[in-house]
Structure 1
């Protein structure tokens, strides 16, 4: 399993993805590879091609809740540029280039402060980060239990 946290920590709450991936990486969870980046790029298609499951983690603007979690499918945008890569684009490239499509989810963590160049998360974003981490760890635990039951 691969987790990719992405965003720009120099843009306030846009750093939620990297903050999440760094927190998860500190846990050294077995079977989970963690990557942190500023943005998604074509090279991520190669990285995800060797995994059955990938979790993309990014900041979410104007989210209704502390976080969202949804499965995503491959899709290409009208045009591809350096800032237009989204999880669906990376999945599509992975399918096209490597003939595999891992199961993929996006964990969007709600942020409020994206405009100015500044390091650090807003208070609300920090609280949302904690909630998202608790959810993710619980999701991983339930997933492991389900896989264990299926192999029993």
Structure 2
């Protein structure tokens, strides 16, 4: 039986603030272990989303996609997303809404309620570390995320 909630953390730890997803994933893993919630939440970390990630949605109650955004309002946005097809010539690097659409097409059912937590990044250069503003935003995003995970059926989730 899969965990009720799946969290996808997307990003490249070698590209400055693109590491926001993996850093949040690492901190979330520690928090989940501390709170003894590891059976309720599965973490999936990857450089990018692909069509195969649609299979990670099977049997879930909710999904959260974490990523960094260069033009995202600071400190972060948390929004509910819907399936959406995108024209593509490749099966690599899909946005979260396209992963939901792949799920819809392959499973013949609606995906679980899904959300994007996009944290504002400043610097995405190869070989750079996480910027100080991004580190602060990661802390704020983690606080919001852990609050949601403590009350998974709460009205605090975006509509």
TM-score by length of 2: 0.85
Distance 1:71 1:80, change over 3 A: farther
Note the residue ranges of structure 2 that are not aligned, 5 or more in a row. none
1:13-41 CA-to-partner distances (Å, cap 9, x unmatched) read 01111111111112222401111110001
Shift of 1:119: 4.4
Which of the numbers 135, 139, 144 marks the counterpart of 1:135?
Answer: 144
Aligned length: 145
CA contact (8 A) 2:148 2:154 kept: no
Length-normalised TM-score, structure 1: 0.88
Structure 1 unaligned segments of length 5 or more: list them: 147-152
What is residue 118 of structure 2 aligned with on the other side?
Answer: 108
Tell me which residue corresponds to 1:19.
Answer: 23
CA-to-aligned-CA distance 1:78-104 (integer Å, 9 cap, x gap): 224244401000000001001231110
- Work out the CA distance in 2 between the residues paired with 1:133 and 1:65: 14
Pick the structure with more helix per residue.
Answer: 1
Q: Say what the alpha-carbon RMSD is for the aligned residues.
A: 1.6
